[in-house]
Structure 1
Amino acid sequence: MIKINSLSKLFHTKSNLISAVDDLSLEIEKGEIFGVIGYSGAGKSTFIRLINRLENPTSGQVVIDGEDITSLSKNKLRLSRQNIGMIFQHFNLLWSRTVRENIAFPLEIAGISKQERMARVDELIGLVGLSGREDAYPSELSGGQKQRVGIARALANDPKVLLCDEATSALDPETTDSILKLLIDINEKLGLTIILITHEMHVIRKICHRVAVMEAGKVVEQGDVLDVFSHPIMPVTKKFVEQVMGDNNQEDSLEWLTTGYKNGDIIKLHFVGETTSQALISQVAKQFDVDINILQGKITQTQKGAYGSLIVHIDGVSDEKESALAYIKSAPVEVEVVHHAN
């Protein structure tokens, strides 16, 4: 659906040349929610603005549904942009217009008749959950309601692609969850392709099917969200996963856990997908004459399934303990012995 080939953007300053996006290539499938994550300065916001040519690339291509956006004239680009909706961190609403008038604005520009405009606006107001607020002004709305207006406005021309530039960064956690649920609902109902830019891994976890990690203008890692969560490779990706899994003090935590156990083994189990629901620990306790204690654990849900880790202490006579460990290792989980006392 979207092919991005060797995309680059250079900014000239008085003293040097800044490479905001550096030879970036991606393919995004039709109907998926694709996340792009990176810290401030990674180039992700520049990247999303290159997709609809709010910024013109220095080199490279953006091809959407077979059309090379980067080669279009201004007039053709204006028409093509009707197929690309965009929502922003700070809403970008027209403060002198009501909810209804804000949503209708792109349809006015497109030359849609008033009767058609009103019918489409009413449909969108219901879709984003703003019924009863049609005549309110932005100053009378909460942050979540303002973003719902922004989403409805972005959907006005029935686009093929929705770009979200830090769309939940200005919202509190509860409101963020409601907006993410709305985006999932829109994706499922309309089959809309969504590209979401964020610096928050929990947003990626809750909504995205695949993710690309950006650093210094480049994509340094990409893949299914569940795969990236369970096997992060690059240091920057590991930091983002730690945001959600709470493992940033893991080394200190493991050191503290191991000091209390002079016997047995402390092992770490990694569960992915369906294996998170298996009663592995209780099965071990029933089948083997060992003592097994859960010391620490966390499971988190992604769009493609669950991922979790569990740290347990296992002790018993040598043969039973080894049999129990062998049984655990035969299960569809990853096993890491983090402390061996005897």
Structure 2
Amino acid sequence: MIKIEQLSKVFKTANQTVQAVDQMNLSINKGEIFGVIGYSGAGKSTFIRLINRLEEPSTGKVIIEDQEITRLNKKDLRLSRQEIGMIFQHFNLLWSRTVRENIAFPLEIAGVSKAERNARVSELIDLVGLTGKENAYPAQLSGGQKQRVGIARALANNPKVLLCDEATSALDPETTDSILALLVDINEKLGLTIILITHEMHVIQKICRNVAVMEDGRIVEQGSVLNVFSHPKQPVTKKFVEQVMGKPEDEETEELFIQHSNSGQVLKLQFIGETTHQAIISQVAKKFDVELNILQGSVKQTQAGAYGSLYLLAIGEPETINQALAFIRETSVEVEVIQHG
């Protein structure tokens, strides 16, 4: 559906040259919610603005459904942008216009008749849950309601792609969850391809199936959310995973592991997908003369399934513990022995 090939953006000033996006390559499937995560300055907002050419690429290609966006002239680009909706962190609403008038604005620009505009706007107001707020002005709305207006406006021209640039970072956690649920609902009902830019890993966790991690203008890691969460490779990815999973290697937990490792072996079990439902601990306890004590653990849900980790203290004869480890490894649960100095 969307192909990004060798995409770069260089900003030049009198004093310096900044490589905001550096040779990016990416493929996004039609109809999926794809996440791009990075810290401030990673280049993710520049990247998303390159997709619809709000920023002009220095080099590279953006291809959407076999149409090379980066080669279109101004007239064709204007038409193509009608199929690419965009929502912003700070809403970008017209403050002198009502909810209805804000949503209708892109339809006016597209030359849609008044009757068609009214019908489409009413449909969108119902879709995003703003019934009863049609005649309110942005100043009379909450942050979540403003973002719902922004989403409705972005959907006005029946786009194929929806770009979300930090769409929830200005919202409180409860409102964030409601907006994410709305995006999932829109994705399912309309079959939209959604590209979601964020610096918050829990946003990726909740609604994305695939994710790319950006740092210094480059994609440093990408894959399914389950795989990236369970096997983060890059330091920046590990930091993001810690946002939702916690950091088991902090001083307090490290001391706990060291303390208990004197009386047994500290094991780390990793569960992915259906394995989170396996009663592996009780199975091991029944089969082997090993005492298992839970030290720490967590399980999180993603759109593609659950994943989590569990730290155990295994007490028993070394040979028996090794047999138990071999049994666990025969399942789809991953296990490792945590060593401490």
Q: Does 1:185 align with 2:185?
A: yes
Q: Is the 8 A contact 2:34 2:196 kept in 1?
A: yes
Mapped contact 2:325–2:335 kept (Cα < 8 A): no
Q: Give the equivalent residue in structure 1 for 2:82.
A: 82
- What is the aligned partner in structure 2 of residue 10 from structure 1? 10
* 1:268 paired residue number: 268
**Distance in 2 separating the partners of 1:322 and 1:220:** 36
Preserved CA contact (<8 Å) 1:266 1:340: no
> Which residue number corresponds to residue 108 of structure 1?
108
| 1:85–1:248 Cα change, 3 Å | farther
Distance 1:340 1:171, change over 3 A: closer
Partner residue in 2 for 1:122:
122
**2:240 paired with 1:240:** yes
Q: Normalized against structure 2, the TM-score is what?
A: 0.97
Provide the C-alpha distance between the structure 1 equivalents of 2:261 and 2:36, rounded to a whole number of angstroms. Answer: 42
* Helix, strand or coil at the partner of 2:144: helix
Q: Which runs of 5+ in 2 are unaligned?
A: none
Instruction: Measure, in 1, the Cα distance between the counterparts of 2:269 and 2:99.
Output: 50
Partner Cα separation in structure 2 for residue 53 and residue 317 of structure 1 = 64
Give CA-to-partner distance per residue, 1:32-71, whole Å, 9 cap, x none.
1111111111110000000001011111111111111111
The 8 Å contact of residues 38 and 213 in structure 1, kept in 2 or not, is answered as yes
Q: Does the residue aligned with 1:268 lie in a helix, a strand or coil?
A: strand
Identity in percent? 70
- Counterpart contact for 1:6–1:61, Cα < 8 Å: yes
Counterpart for residue 63 of structure 1: 63
Residue aligning to 2:231: 231
1:298, 1:310 within 8 Å by CA — same for their partners in 2? Answer: yes
The one-letter code matched in structure 2 to 1:191 is G
Tell me, which stretches of 5 or more residues in structure 1 are unaligned? Answer: none
SS of the residue corresponding to residue 243 of structure 1 reads: helix
Structure 2 CA distance, aligned partners of 1:339 and 1:100? 62
| Matching residue of 2:331 | 331
Aligned length: 341
Q: Distance in 2 between matches of 1:257 and 1:17?
A: 48
Tell me the equivalent position of 2:49.
49
CA contact (8 A) 1:43 1:214 kept: yes
Shift, 1:340, TM fit: 8.1
Does structure 1 conserve the Cα–Cα contact (< 8 Å) formed by 2:104 and 2:121?
yes
For residues 218 and 317 of structure 2, the distance between their equivalents in structure 1, rounded to whole angstroms, comes to 52
Q: CA-to-partner distance for each residue in 1:64-94, whole Å, 9 max, x for gaps?
A: 1111111111111111100000000000001
Deviates further, 315-324 or 156-165: 315-324
Q: Call closer, same or farther: CA 1:209–1:261 in 2, change over 3 Å.
A: closer
1:316 positional shift: 2.1
Alignment root-mean-square deviation, CA: 1.4
What TM-score does the superposition give when structure 1 sets the normalisation length? 0.97
1:210-225 → structure 2 map (5 Å cutoff): 210-225=210-225
Deviates more, 1:249-258 or 1:78-87: 249-258
Q: Provide the residue aligned with 1:96 in structure 2.
A: 96
